[in-house]
Amino acid sequence: GWAGEGPGASGKNRHVCHAAARLEMGSLWEEFNRLGTEMIVTKAGRRMFPTFQVKLSGLDPLADYVLLMDFIPLDDKRYRYAFHSSSWLAAGRAEPAAPGRVHFHPDSPAKGAQWMRQIVSFDKLKLTNNLLDDNGHIILNSMHRYQPRFHVVFVDPRRDSERFAHQNFKSFSF
């Protein structure tokens, strides 16, 4: 189904307050989550699978928007795989969080009409465990759990737009 920001969406700019996002291939994501599958993250960087794709609605067709993603730790644990039970087990405290990065969709900024016309795919997004990465990939710690977040940001043309930054975006988690 469609996801919204839930409580706390009040006070948002009219250009984002009605924004909604539907995760494509949601059943595949749910199945992966149920099975407890993982991605092997490499130093060179690896494209995320499944690819994060959303269908947007509720944007102002004539306004400009930037779309981006980030990843937040799901908990404060490190994990290891137990082959005897075919499951992931907590194996201590998490490593310090890697530098926070965001991935801007390469078509950003674009009009709301363009974003709503077709499925938006983050197929260029790459994840790495290389703390010294200089390619702009999202840096994650191996053997940790993360929640992807998707953000729709209204490009506010006002001269003092930074004063309204907290009102000009809407975030989605699936």
Task: Band the pLDDT of 126: cuts 50, 70, 90.
Answer: very high
What pLDDT score does 100 carry?
85
Which domains are delineated in the chain?
20-169 (2.60.40.820)
Task: Give the pLDDT confidence score for residue 7 in this predicted structure.
Answer: 43
CA distance 23 to 97: 26
Please state, in angstroms and rounded to a whole number, the distance separating the CA atoms of residues 124 and 1: 24
Overall average pLDDT of the 145-152 stretch: 94
CA dihedral 132, 135, 137, 143 (to 10 degrees): -30
Matching residue, tokens 């926070």: 100
Encode the chain in three state secondary structure: CEECCCCCCCCCCCCCCCCEEEECCHHHHHHHHHHCCCCCCECCCEECCCCCEEEEECCCCCCEEEEEEEEEECCCEEEEEECCCCEEEEEEECCCCCCCCCEECCCCCEEHHHHHHCCEECCCCEEECCCCCCCCCEECCCCCCEEEEEEEEECCCCCCHHHHHHHCEEEEEC
Query: pLDDT band at 135, cuts 50/70/90?
Result: very high
Residue from 60, 91, 98, 66 nearest 77 by CA: 91
pLDDT attached to residue 38: 81
pLDDT digits (tens, 9 = 90+) for 57-74: 999 999 999 999 999 999
Closest CA to 146 of 51, 45, 9, 33: 33
Q: In this predicted model, what pLDDT tens digit does every residue of 21-71 receive, in sequence order?
A: 999 999 999 998 888 778 888 999 999 999 999 999 999 999 999 999 999
**CA dist 136 → 67, 117, 124, 128 (Å):** 16, 28, 11, 10
